[in-house]
Amino acid sequence: MDSFSSFRRYCATSLVGLGIVGMLLGSAACSKKPGAAPAHKGIAGLAIHHASAKENAGVMKFLVTANPPLKTPVQIRFDTRAAVSAAVAAQSGGVDYTDVVNGALNLPANTAEAYVSVTLTNESIYEEDEVFAVRITVPDGVLVGQAEALGTILNDDAAPQMNLTLAATQPTSTVTEGPAAAVLLNLTVTGATEVTSTLKIKTADGIGSGDRAFYRTDFMLEWAGERLYPVTGGVTDDLSITIPPSASDQSGELKLLVVDDGLVEGTERAIVYLQSDTADLRIANGANIELVISDDDTDKRATLRAMNDTGVTAASGIGINSLEDVAFGADSTSTAVDGKAFNLAIYDVNGQPFTDPNTQTPGCVRDNTTGLVWEVLDKLDDSFRSNKRARYWYDPDSDTNGGSDVVTDSAGTIGYYRCDEPSATGEFMACNTAFYAADVNLMPLCGITGWRLPTTEELRSMMDYAKPNNVMAAAFPDGEAGEEYAATDWSVSSSGLRGYWTADTYAADVRQAWFLPFFETGVYSFAREQVDTKSGVGTGKQFVRLVTDKPLP
């Protein structure tokens, strides 16, 4: 038997097995010798094929093929429906086509191709490409090679455009540093969108004369009532906000909050601008604002003030009429606060005299001798002002950091000093001194601003040298910061000592700053250069008690 005879026998057997299918298909598939091309390349039987079209095309056409062509006409029914697979359904952003139920396509005899048409809906909303399905059904006995196809509606609308401008009520972006200083900006989204997208807000050096204003320490942004914090552990000032879907243009107020930090810095400038890393948002040309902050501070730290005495009122083995300190000054005459050399008054967090511990929370202590106001820390563990939280020394401003902010650790890794971490209550907890002072100024604690790290001499003025341990003056109602740790604790600092940071840099090594330990009267320098920013307590941290020159309300 030759090969052609074998092929005819195979065809005859197959057609008998197919019954009515064989009758409809006829003998076209068996009319050629082995190796001959079929009448139509592709999927055997009837098949509907995937299609795509732009939204404004009006119609999407799905190719239907018959392979081989049928010898008799047949009516094909079809329906549209949502995409069936989870992966495809996730892409479906809406229904931008006219649903078809039990549509009809008449396929004439001996026809290899025809089209199913689905009407598309054209609108002006930016969206992801949308996917739907078309399924065909045929009379019993007709061979179907592919019964369902996916249609992809290609978005042809432009992504929404973002712009940043001064608010109508804001005549200028120049502002004088001070309580409640702010610049109001208008953030607009032009164009409807069905896509949730992320907008980045970035900062850079200003273009005019003056030093750079740093995000987080000199100013912050507030959107929808929430302050924008850099990503925890991040090394840049990148901020982000979510732009939700909307059927129309959107706008909102972006508030630029100026930190009244009490430091003499001169004029500071920064550019605030928009950036998008995806195609889902476009940024308008000129979508940036130059912030100019004029300083209102004078250096009061060098101003001659009345001085507190040491608190020492007795000296062993030396007569009271000698030249010992105990015989002179307030130590020998004062009757204020435990009969010591300190004249202090406690105020609540709103700046009102603290008289009722049942209804008020202490916030600050005023030194009536020097005029300085000192921070009272919070005893709550999850408060961002908790007295159990040690912090890194950090100051990015070259005018005030003594020559080094310490931007690297010993391995040269950038960014360990930049940190904000959310607490159990959702507050952001600053791990360094500059971020922390900014947060206290933005409260503002006791209704006043200008909170900063004290100088060594300012901090020393609050030390009661008559106390053998925890030497802050006795009127502070928070006890000592870090009081749950031993006086010498290697988990707090690499020196094993713990105390309060000062603003003063160690001249012999600008990577170090001075601190006053709790348990003795010395002053120590301590390395700022450390790692492990996320730890509540870790090597390289000391505690913080801020001070301000500003008067209470």
- Same domain (yes/no): 45, 27: no
pLDDT tens-digit map of 380-438: 877 888 888 888 888 888 777 777 665 444 443 333 456 677 766 667 778 788 899 99
Q: Does 313 fall in a domain? A: no
- Same domain (yes/no): 126, 202: no
Of 136, 154, 172, the one marking the end of a domain is 154
Burial class (CB in 10 A: 0-12, 13-18, 19+), 193: buried
Q: Does 306 fall in a domain? A: no
Per the structure, the complete domain to which residue 246 belongs is given by 161-294
CATH number of 277's domain: 2.60.40.2030
pLDDT at residue 452 tops 90 = yes
Phi, psi dihedral angles at 364 (to 5 degrees):
-160, 160
Of 294, 312, 328, the one marking the end of a domain is 294
pLDDT tens-digit map of 278-334: 999 999 999 999 999 998 877 665 565 677 776 666 665 555 555 556 666 666 565
- Same domain (yes/no): 176, 141: no
What is the mean predicted confidence (pLDDT) over 470-481?
A: 60
Higher confidence at residue 65 or residue 553?
Answer: 65
- Same domain (yes/no): 29, 110: no
Q: E strand or H helix at 330, and its extent?
A: helix 330-333
CA-CA distance, 227 to 214, in Å (whole number)? 15
The one-character DSSP state at 128 is -
Band (203; pLDDT cuts 50, 70, 90): confident
pLDDT at residue 239 tops 90 = no
- Same domain (yes/no): 360, 441: yes
Residue 80: which of 112, 117, 107 has the closest Cα?
A: 117
CA-CA distance, 181 to 210, in Å (whole number)? 19
Q: Does 304 fall in a domain? A: no
pLDDT tens-digit map of 166-192: 999 999 999 999 988 999 999 999 999
What pLDDT score does 137 carry? 95
pLDDT at residue 67 tops 80 = yes
Residue 205: which of 180, 171, 237, 174 has the closest Cα?
A: 237
- Same domain (yes/no): 520, 384: yes
pLDDT at residue 263 tops 80 = yes
What pLDDT score does 89 carry? 46
For residue 401, the SS3 value is coil
Contacts of 148 (CB under 8 A, 6+ apart): 48, 84, 133, 134, 135, 136
- Same domain (yes/no): 214, 232: yes
pLDDT at residue 474 tops 70 = no
- Same domain (yes/no): 114, 63: yes
- Same domain (yes/no): 429, 524: yes
Average pLDDT across the chain, whole number: 77
pLDDT at residue 36 tops 60 = no
Q: Does 533 fall in a domain? A: yes
What pLDDT score does 492 carry? 47
Contact 76, 105 (CB under 8 A): yes
> How many Cα atoms within 13 Å fall on the side-chain side of residue 381?
4
Higher confidence at residue 418 or residue 85?
Answer: 418
- Same domain (yes/no): 138, 202: no
What pLDDT score does 3 carry? 34
Contacts of 119 (CB under 8 A, 6+ apart): 58, 59, 97, 98
How many domains, the chain? 4
Beta bridge partners of 478: none
- For the chain, what percent of residues have pLDDT higher than 90? 44
Higher confidence at residue 355 or residue 420?
Answer: 355
What pLDDT score does 280 carry? 95
Residue 71: which of 115, 19, 119, 28 has the closest Cα?
A: 28
Burial class (CB in 10 A: 0-12, 13-18, 19+), 523: middle
What is the mean predicted confidence (pLDDT) over 517-535?
A: 46
CA-CA distance, 185 to 165, in Å (whole number)? 6
What is the mean predicted confidence (pLDDT) over 473-491?
A: 50
pLDDT tens-digit map of 114-125: 999 999 999 999
What pLDDT score does 398 carry? 79
Q: Which of 312-316, 349-353, 515-519 has the lowest mean pLDDT?
A: 312-316
CA-CA distance, 516 to 463, in Å (whole number)? 9
What is the mean predicted confidence (pLDDT) over 341-363?
A: 90
Higher confidence at residue 285 or residue 540?
Answer: 285
- Same domain (yes/no): 433, 423: yes
Highest mean pLDDT among 212-226, 318-332, 372-386, 491-505: 212-226
Exposure pattern of 469-487 as b/e (b: 16+ CB <10 Å)?
ebbbbbbbebebbbeebeb
Band (33; pLDDT cuts 50, 70, 90): very low
